Amino acid sequence: MLINLREKMKTFLSLTYAAGAFFLVTAMLIWPQETFQAAIYGLELWATVLVPSLLPFFIIAEILLNLGIVSLVGVLLEPVMRPLFNLPGSASFVVAMGFTSGYPMGAVLTRRLYEEKECTLTEGERLVAFTNNSSPLFIMVAVSVGMFGNPLLGIILAAAHYTSNIIWGIILGWFAPRQPVQRTRKENIFIRGIRSLLTAQKKRKPWGKLLGDAVRSGIGNITLIAGFVIIFAVIIRILLTTNLLYYPTCFIGFLLKLFHFDPDLRTAFAAGFWEMTLGLHEVSQLHVSLQEKAVAASIILGWSGLSIQAQVASVLSGSGIKVRHYFQGRFVQGLLSGIISYLLIRSSESWAPLVPVPVSTFKNEGVLSFGVLLNNLGYVGQIYYILLKILLILVFVSFLVYFSRKIHANI
């Protein structure tokens, strides 16, 4: 009975996908002008915001991966993985890359980790649920500076985004069966980290090939993002043209009024439901308060859009790793991100003056002043300091919960 119900559900979904694709093609033929304008809009957004802010990071991340820098970070994070996330130490590499490289790097590395039998299937499902984040460069540059023109907003969005996802990872670890920690190596963790770095250096490619491969990989990733941004821009425009988004946007507007937010944000949320970048861009264009922009942007970043979710699902397809925890996490992270952003923006008067804002001022005919350089380095250092404090607090809380459970079990 249950098998027949699943088969019927699969058949229904297949017919729904086919009908949706047929409707999309028909609508593109009926409204070619709107389709063309939407594709141009998505292409301009990709070319003017995403390419200059993400492509350099993709290239540098690939170089760092081959040089062993991320392996070093992964080794240093090993002691916190089991008590904090109930995951093996090898998962620290996925966490490090997922939190620094952006979508869908966490899914790619989780699949590789599972295929190499470095983690179990259930551990892979939990790992992928909280390691697919927006990259720091996307939040700090593309969103806060490129769209909103407010560098300080980047700190709020980044803190809310990463903290909420870490909390989701901890929650999943708490409710999963815990395995005893195996201590097979007594070597100092810093020595192990340096050794892994030196080993990666010996195996690295020649500099010319390394740079060429990094550029090719970066261009491939940014081109994939272009396809998703453009097609979802077309889908959103067609839904708006056919008024199919009217009732959903009305419902969103009702919820916004209920929580005393500007109803004009409903269009941005409707766009962000499908494609994160388009939704964030819509938020940046609205004339609403900074507090409302921060909360709305955090919710959209946490949800990440169906476009990003489709990328993650496509990467994991055929691996056996289910994405149910990942999809559940999009709701949880969106809610937590919005709450954390609200609290941070409300208390920004107390901590914002202590944070240096990045400056791009040049003087003496293009020579960057030493003071500006120190200011920008302080800005980056302050961000890492804040994130480190948040992580240490979460580690401390996790240890308390772990030992309290252990004491309760002994009693």
Residues 6 or more apart whose CB falls under 8 angstroms from that of 369 comprise 361, 362, 363
Average pLDDT over residues 229-248: 82
User: What's the pLDDT score for residue 354?
Assistant: 57
What separation in angstroms does the CA of 154 have from each of 231, 339, 344? Answer: 27, 16, 12
Of 124-133, 195-204, 349-358, highest mean pLDDT: 124-133
Q: How many other β-carbons are positioned within 10 Å of the β-carbon of residue 108?
A: 21
What separation in angstroms does the CA of 291 have from each of 88, 152, 283? Answer: 39, 12, 12
Average pLDDT over residues 43-56: 79
pTM exceeding the 0.85 threshold for the entire prediction: no
* pLDDT of 262 over the 90 cut: no
Tokens at residue 364, please?
Answer: 């003496």
Kindly report, residue by residue over 344-401, the tens digit of the pLDDT.
Answer: 888 776 666 655 555 554 444 444 455 555 555 565 565 556 656 655 665 566 566 6
User: What's the pLDDT score for residue 177?
Assistant: 77
Average pLDDT over residues 54-77: 73
Residues 6 or more apart whose CB falls under 8 angstroms from that of 376 comprise 356, 358, 359
What is the share, in percent, of the chain residues with pLDDT greater than 90?
A: 9
Kindly report, residue by residue over 66-93, the tens digit of the pLDDT.
Answer: 777 766 766 777 677 877 888 877 787 7
Q: Where are the domains of the chain?
A: 32-176+189-355, 356-411
Instruction: Compute the distance between CA of residue 86 and CA of residue 114 in angstroms, rounded to an integer.
Output: 16
* pLDDT of 282 over the 80 cut: yes
Tokens at residue 39, please?
Answer: 């594709």
